[in-house]
């Protein structure tokens, strides 16, 4: 059986956490409050809550204790419990502005604009009340603007306005849904999924975001398979385009998809240059011995002296030998071959052509004549000038 570490940690905390009943009944309230504050300063919010619970049980008339426990609840993300404590503090001390401010903040986070304004207006003398009220008004206007932009399919404006609204209404699931829709429409799949994951966190019982995320992953899987099919069919541009779509949706597989995109890019560049392996007649994984053997065989086959017997003109034979030697020049050099394998043709325009002068590029090449005797020729610079000195 597999148990998540987080679940184990939660269980341990549940067992070890302090509860109010563990605290001696004769502990003074002042000591309880001091202990609560000490635990808070150490980040031990669970133990701090236990001391606040004990303090409230001893003295349920202290509005400040309710207020402090409420702020502790807020630090744990427990807004409903915090709301109850703030309201209790206000019932004990009506007009307590700090509690109204906190209730206003709780309501603005869920886009309860009217509720937030009502609470903040009750705290009109609080130092930050006016600023918070202005922020609520701006956020509400941005929320309306985001909805209007969504209706008009103005996706960029929709996202921009939703961004401003969400800065205030951080826990408003409706705004997250709007922004997710507009982000998907803009092709921002990863960001849209992030918004839907927030909705799942805010509304655990709502399965609709999960269904959308699952559908996106399903279609992304289809794009991945389609991209690989394009690769197999040597449709490299289509493969790159489709794989990029899959990458946007499947962030969890971005490394693997990046590898496929890079492979398709290399193959695309290769498809636009000469295939030296095909010219020599060897596989791409051929070793040096196989490349040299293939070169020798082709050199004998297309020797200019045998051109007439094969029905080729001397010019055609020279052209063929130039292609063979060009390919061998690249494949026999590890550095040039590595460049070619990356889709970079060393002989493309803009690169220095090593086969200037004669088609044999200034290198020594061996030919074998009828009697089994081999002859070595030097062509190009230092080899007796231009032309083909194939004299006997």
pLDDT digits (tens, 9 = 90+) for 277-294: 887 888 878 888 888 888
Q: Which residues pair with 365 in a beta bridge?
A: 377
What percent of the chain clears pLDDT 90, i.e. is strictly above it? 34
Taking the C-alpha atoms of residue 206 and residue 138, their distance in angstroms, rounded to an integer, is: 29
In whole numbers, what is the pLDDT of the chain averaged over residues? Answer: 77
Over residues 37-49, the mean pLDDT reads 91
pLDDT above 70 for 369:
no
Decide: 87 and 114 in contact? Cβ < 8 Å.
Answer: no
Which residues make beta-bridge pairs with 368?
A: 374
- Please report the DSSP string for 106-171 in residue order: HHHHTT-HHHHHHHHHHTTTSTTHHHHHHHHHHHHHHHHHHHHHHHTT-HHHHHHHHHHHHHH-TT
Longest dimension (CA), the chain: 120
**Non-local CB neighbours of 163 within 8 Å, separated by 6+ positions:** 179
| Average pLDDT, integer, range 186-205 | 81
Residue 167 has pLDDT above 90, yes or no: yes
Look at residue 215 in the predicted model and tell me its pLDDT. 59
- Sequence-separated (6 or more) residues with CB below 8 Å from residue 32: 23, 51, 52, 54, 55, 58
Q: Is 12 exposed, middle or buried (0-12, 13-18, 19+ CB in 10 A)?
A: exposed
CB 221 within 8 A of CB 253: no
Q: Which of 9-13, 264-268, 339-343, 370-374 has the highest mean pLDDT?
A: 339-343
62, 81 contact by CB (below 8 A): no
pLDDT of residue 20: 62
Give the model's pLDDT for residue 317.
Answer: 74
For the stretch 288-315, pLDDT in tens is: 888 888 888 887 777 766 666 666 777 7
State both tokens at 234.
Answer: 């040597």
Residue 12 has pLDDT above 60, yes or no: no
| C-alpha–C-alpha distance, residues 294 and 291, integer Å | 5
pLDDT digits (tens, 9 = 90+) for 214-250: 656 555 555 566 666 666 677 767 777 877 776 666 6
Asked which of 23-27, 191-195, 222-226, 227-231 is least confident by mean pLDDT, the reply is 222-226
Separation of alpha carbons 122 and 99, rounded Å: 10
Average pLDDT over residues 346-364: 47
**Higher pLDDT pick, 216 / 358:** 216
Q: For the segment 169-178, what is each residue's pLDDT rounded down to a tens digit?
A: 999 999 999 9
- For residue 14, what pLDDT is reported? 42
Q: Which comes out higher in pLDDT, residue 206 or 184?
A: 184
Give the whole-angstrom CA distance, residue 288 versus residue 294: 10
- Identify the pLDDT of residue 164: 96
List, for residues 107-166, the tens digit of each pLDDT value.
Answer: 999 999 999 999 999 998 898 899 999 999 999 999 999 999 999 999 999 999 999 999
The owner of tokens 């300063």 is: 41
Res. 349 pLDDT band, cuts 50 70 90: low
């Amino acid at each position: 059986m597999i148990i998540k570490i987080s679940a184990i940690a939660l269980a341990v905390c549940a067992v070890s956490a302090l509860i109010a009943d563990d605290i001696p009944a004769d502990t003074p309230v002042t000591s309880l409050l001091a202990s609560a504050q000490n635990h808070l300063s150490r980040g031990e919010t669970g133990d701090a809550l236990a001391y606040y619970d004990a303090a409230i049980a001893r003295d349920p008339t202290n509005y400040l204790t309710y207020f402090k426990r409420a702020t502790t609840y807020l630090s744990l993300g427990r807004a409903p419990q915090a709301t109850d404590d703030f309201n209790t503090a206000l019932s004990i001390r009506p007009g307590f502005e700090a509690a109204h401010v906190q209730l206003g903040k709780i309501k603005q986070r869920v886009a309860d604009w009217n509720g937030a304004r009502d609470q903040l207006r009750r705290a009109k003398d609080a130092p930050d009340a006016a600023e918070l009220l202005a922020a609520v008004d701006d956020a509400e206007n941005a929320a309306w603007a985001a909805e209007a932009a969504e209706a008009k399919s103005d996706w960029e404006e929709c996202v921009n306005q939703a961004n401003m609204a969400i800065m205030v209404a951080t826990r408003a699931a409706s705004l997250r849904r709007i922004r997710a829709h507009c982000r998907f429409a803009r092709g921002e799949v990863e960001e849209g999924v992030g918004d839907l994951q927030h909705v799942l966190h805010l509304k655990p019982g709502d399965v609709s975001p999960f269904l959308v995320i699952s559908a996106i992953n399903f279609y992304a899987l289809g794009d991945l398979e389609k991209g690989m099919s394009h690769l197999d069919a040597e449709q490299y541009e289509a493969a790159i385009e489709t794989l990029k779509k899959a990458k946007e949706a499947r962030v969890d597989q971005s490394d693997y998809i990046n590898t496929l995109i890079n492979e398709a890019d290399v193959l695309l560049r290769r498809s636009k240059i000469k295939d030296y392996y095909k010219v020599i007649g060897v596989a791409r994984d051929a070793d040096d011995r196989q490349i040299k053997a293939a070169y020798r065989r082709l050199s004998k086959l297309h020797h200019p002296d045998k051109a007439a017997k094969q029905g080729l003109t001397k010019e055609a034979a020279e052209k063929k030998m130039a292609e063979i030697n060009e390919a061998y020049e690249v494949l026999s050099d590890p550095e040039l071959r590595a460049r070619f394998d990356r889709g970079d043709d060393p002989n493309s325009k803009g690169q220095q052509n090593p086969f200037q002068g004669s088609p044999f590029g200034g290198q020594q090449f061996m030919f074998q004549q009828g009697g089994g005797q081999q002859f070595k020729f030097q062509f190009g610079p230092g080899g007796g000038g231009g032309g083909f000195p194939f004299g006997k």
